[in-house]
Amino acid sequence: MDLRTTGTPLLKWSGDGLAIGLFEDDVELTAELADLDNKLSGTLKELIAEAEFKGKEGSSAATRVGSGSAVRKIILVGLGKPEGLKLDTLRRAAAISARVAKKEKCKLLGIRLPIWNDQAALTAQTIAEGAELALYQDTRFKSDTEDKGASVEQIELLGLGVQDEAVTRARQIASGVFLARELVAAPANYVTPITLAETAEAIAREHGLSLEILEREDCEKLGMGAFLGVAQGADLPPKFIHLTYKPESTPRRKLAIIGKGLTFDSGGLNIKGAGSGIEMMKTDMGGAGATLGAAKAIAQIKPDVEVHFISAATENMISGHAIHPGDILTASNGKTIEINNTDAEGRLTLADALVFAEKLGVDAIVDLATLTGACVIALGDEIAGLWSSDPEIANQLTQAGELAGEKIWQMPMEEKYFDGMKSLIADMKNTGPRPGGSITAALFLKQFVKETPWAHLDVAGPVWTEKENGYNSPGATGYGVRTLVNWAIGGA
């Protein structure tokens, strides 16, 4: 699909479908739209009346224009109230435009949406993202890959001037989101620690990043007993992935992004039972997927920051080699952990990844993890929980998420709750009581970071969606990539 901005005035534009954004208030057409309406023999007004179109956010209406017209179909997209216009409303409106255009079999689609906060370039990027993300289809596991419906071949964004850089940026980011979606959607017999490492290798090769893969023995030498404890029950070998992007000039800052990379989480000997959603545990590498997706996007954007992309990838399986509940593991910072639940494995893999990241001497560390069901209970499946003892990174991430249209809510680092993780025999247990389960998980991670500013995002909810939602189709969302990219390239 080709997407570009065009300087063609609205009244001169011709194509299969023209999508027009309307606020709840100006369903009373503006002068320009009234002219367009005249040109299209009153189609706009008729459609508004017949469809009882009120401009409500998320609503749309489409109709055929009389034959011989320069525009074959008109698509109206509601934007809600103009006062509260959010950037993400435009991303979603672009997604609706693209989806309706596909349904209406429009090959050439024009999109006309308002400029957000006088920022034409950012608006163009956002609209382009929405359209690209919404048209993504994953047919890898279908035997019949022929697309039955005609697809949208070209999109032209009207009224934004020429914004080639912004459109390129949107495409780079979308390529990262698609990679994350593909990794998360593919089941555990396709995405394994080995193929995750191969994906990192492909990114390194294609975009000139450096790559270090630590094998089991390398991890042993570094004393990564927590990570290796999780990995020991699996037949597939663990892979500790460390991908590095370095700018050509001296980096403005150095960052580490860590993603939980459990390519399957059976729970281990504390096996996940019926109704636990075990069949969805292919998504337990959503953090790693977002990390690699962000690497792919950042490698193309080439910002003046150094970024380390890290994932301790493994499966959590059952076998004669698996850790027993009650075992004591020693992490690479020397801390000992009593495993009172083998299903709290993500934090064990992250513990060694955090210690590794801090040794790199970075200015900040962010980890993303499908860490707890408790976070989904607290925030639902659209919002990630954020924990940080550093207000600056917390702010940076909140803003990066806002810009990205990825919802984040900061949660408390309630130190007192760490009492629930006390062990009689080791430095700590890996699991606290059920109440506040996502908080104790964050507090556990905190034990493995000494002084580097650090934040943790629990993304167990938003990496997957059961229903169509804005620019996300049912399935993997690629959550986190856009926030990570914004965070890495922006800020002080």
Binding site for ligand BES (CB under 6 A): 265, 277, 284, 341, 343-346, 370-374, 376, 431, 437, 460
Residue owning tokens 């017999």: 189
**Closest-CB residue for Mn ion?**
343
Residue 273 CB, nearest approach to ligand BES (Å):
11
Q: What are phi and psi of 118, to 5 degrees?
A: 60, 20
Cβ atoms 336, 326 nearer than 8 A: no
Give the Cβ contact number of residue 13 at 10 Å: 18
Query: Which residue among 92, 272, 429, 482 is the active-site one?
Result: 272
> Which residues, numbered 344-373, are part of the site for Mn ion (CB under 5 A)?
345
Q: How many residues bind Zn ion (CB under 5 A)?
A: 4
Contact pick of 16, 129, 132, 265 for Mn ion (by CB under 5 A): 265
Q: How many residues does the chain have?
A: 492
Rounded to a whole number of angstroms, the minimum distance from the CB of residue 89 to ligand BES is 28
Residues 241-280 that bind Zn ion (CB under 5 A): 262, 265
248-263 per-residue burial string, b: 16 or more CB within 10 A, e: under 16 = eeebeebbbbbbbbbb
Report in angstroms how near the CB of residue 343 gets to Mn ion at its nearest.
Answer: 4
Interface segment toward Mn ion; rule CB under 5 A; list 111-119, 261-269, 377-385, 416-424: 261-269
Tell me whether residue 346 or residue 478 sits nearer to Zn ion (CB atom): 346
Residues numbered 305 to 344 that lie near Mn ion (CB under 5 A) are 343
Residue 358 site contact among Mn ion, ligand BES, Zn ion, none (CB < 5 to 8 Å, cut-off depends on kind): none
| 99 is annotated as an active-site residue | no
Output the six-digit token pair for 53. 């179109």
Among the options 72, 102, 169, 347, which is catalytic?
347
- Identify what 437 binds: ligand BES, Zn ion, Mn ion, none; CB under 5 to 8 Å per kind: ligand BES
CB 331 within 8 A of CB 354: no
CB of residue 260 to Zn ion, shortest distance in Å: 7
Q: How far is the CB of 441 from ligand BES (least distance, A)?
A: 7
List of long-range contacts for 426-430, beta carbons under 8 Å, 24+ apart: 426/328, 426/336, 426/337, 426/338, 427/335, 427/336, 427/337, 428/335, 428/336, 428/337, 428/338, 429/337, 429/338, 429/339, 429/340, 430/337, 430/338, 430/339, 430/340, 430/341, 430/344, 430/347, 430/348
Cβ proximity to ligand BES, 343 vs 352, nearer residue? 343
Q: Between 104 and 343, name the residue whose CB sits nearer to Mn ion.
A: 343
CB of 455 to ligand BES, least distance (A): 19
373 binds, among ligand BES, Zn ion, Mn ion, none (CB under 5 to 8 A by kind): ligand BES
- Site mask, Zn ion, residues 323-352, x = CB under 5 A? -----------------------x------
Place of tokens 């009492």: 419
Q: Which is nearer to Mn ion, 16 or 338 (CB)?
A: 338
How many angstroms separate the CA atoms of 479 and 385, rounded?
13
* CB-nearer residue toward ligand BES: 29 or 236: 236
Kindly identify the residues of this chain, within the stretch 353-392, that bind Zn ion according to CB under 5 A.
none
Q: Which amino acid is at 421?
A: M
CA-CA distance, 369 to 353, in Å (whole number)? 12
Which listed option, ligand BES, Zn ion, Mn ion, none, makes contact with residue 372 (CB within 5 to 8 Å by class)? ligand BES
CA dist., res. 296 & res. 202, Å (int): 10
HSE-CB of 472 using CA atoms within 13 angstroms: 23
From the CB of 308, what's the least distance to ligand BES, in Å? Answer: 24
Nearer residue to Zn ion within complex by CB, 265 or 352: 265
The yes or no reply on residue 284 touching Zn ion (CB under 5 A) is yes
Which token pair is 461?
A: 């909810």
- DSSP, collapsed to helix, strand or coil, labels residue 294 as helix
Q: Shortest distance, CB of residue 286 to ligand BES, whole angstroms?
A: 8
Q: What angle do CA 209, 126, 23 make, to 5 degrees?
A: 170
Interhelix angle 286-301/481-489, rounded to 10 degrees, is 40
The DSSP element (H or E) to which 338 belongs, if any, is strand 336-338
Given the complex with ligand BES, which of 252 and 422 has the nearer CB atom?
422
Q: Which does 485 bind (CB under 5 to 8 A by kind): Mn ion, ligand BES, Zn ion, none?
A: none
Burial of 425 (0-12, 13-18, 19+ CB in 10 A): exposed
Task: Give the CB-nearest residue to Zn ion.
Answer: 265
- In the residue annotation, 56 being an active-site residue is answered as no
* Catalytic residue list: 272, 347
Q: Give the residues lining the site for Mn ion (CB under 5 A).
A: 265, 343, 345
Residue ranges in contact with Zn ion by CB under 5 A: 262, 265, 284, 346
